[in-house]
Structure 1
Amino acid sequence: DDMEDIVQVGTIGLIKAIDRFDLTREVEFSTFAIPYILGEMKRFFRDTGWAVHVPRRLQELRSDLAKAKELLHNKLDRDPTVRELSDHLNLSEDEVIEGIVAANGYTAGSLDTPADSAPAEQSRTVADLIGEEDPAMEKVENLQTLAPLMEKLNAREHRLIELRFGQELTQAEIGAELGVSQMHVSRLLSRTLSKLRAGMLTER
């Protein structure tokens, strides 16, 4: 962090110490002031050091977990389990798991980070290597384009589309519903779908 910000934060702690210092206690001013200065600095790092904002309770739990992990690792000569961490910290296993998950928000990597050591113009980023094309995205785009075209249909065409694709009726069932032949339903559907298809091609 910028040193100027840290000095300013420390100065706030110093001012608080000056305001609260009591000469009658016969304590060195430096001894009294240091906890105030350090407290402000720790609060600053706690509030600004996280890549993702998490509640202060979880920020403090991350620190407790880190200390507990180190202590238990030295004692057990292996990484401690969630149960061992919860017993050591007098917390439930759910709370420990919540703290571990929250700790992942302390740092964040950029999707633009190079994923290999190739020259810059040939290098791929992390974003190039993760995720995959979502086939549902094309459906969403089609629906967005289709919605205003549907509004332009007349009542009969709209009813026809609703029966065929909304209620999933067969052409014979639609004919019975509308009082026309299956052949006529087929022609109406073909004409209506051609109108919608042409509209979508024009919109794109």
Structure 2
Amino acid sequence: MYDAKGRAPRDRVIEQHIPLVKKLAYQLKARLPANVEVDDLIQAGTIGLLDAMSRYEATQNAQFETYAVQRIRGAMLDELRSQDWLPRSVRQNMRQIEAALGELQQELLRAPSEAEIAARLQLSLEDYQQKLNDGAGHQLVYFDDFKSAGDDGHDHFLDRHCQDSSHDPLQLLLQDGFREALIEAIDALPEREKLLMGLYYEQELNLKEIGAVLGVTESRVSQLHSQAVARLRNHLRRQEWTGAV
């Protein structure tokens, strides 16, 4: 049966719930790196909505919208997982950098310099900066961070905080406590890196434009960004973030 506008019931349900898809997409986008496109999240969420429509049974205890939210979120998380393209070797290098940052931070009681990090890793400054260049695209949060601790020998520090979110990474990212912890971590960055992160994530300048502001090359901006993300991840791990600041 069609309505007065010639729409099938399926089309009416989609039209009714598209605002929900967009709301969830923009909420998630606000907590993700600038390279994540909200349109991709909306498209993935729409697929999740269609999946919910095909699977939902009116006899289920959950209301359709509650059920649909779960499917929409799951589809968006799958989309983010598909964009996690950084090679494993590069991710391992960045973990080593994070570990060195953590050790030095505890010893020096301040943010270590690039030269100090390179020395701890037994690398020349040039080789260390090349690893930062290779790590372009390093993200604050990976799906690997939500694996059970010890699955691959690494400390998945965010996994410990999924308990209150029913093991839902999206719920963790949307928590106000996580946002506040991240703001605190950004505030602890060296001034240059703090400015860079503000220009990149708040002002949405590209690397070339940020380079013009800072008076450095685009490649140098990429290095500083990778290092800043490593500092943020280390800060969250070091503070043993528990969802409450």
What range is the shorter-chain TM-score in? 0.3 to 0.5
TM-score, structure 2 length as denominator? Answer: 0.28
Bigger relative CO (Cα 8 Å, ≥ 6 apart): 2
TM-score scaled to structure 1, two decimals?
0.33
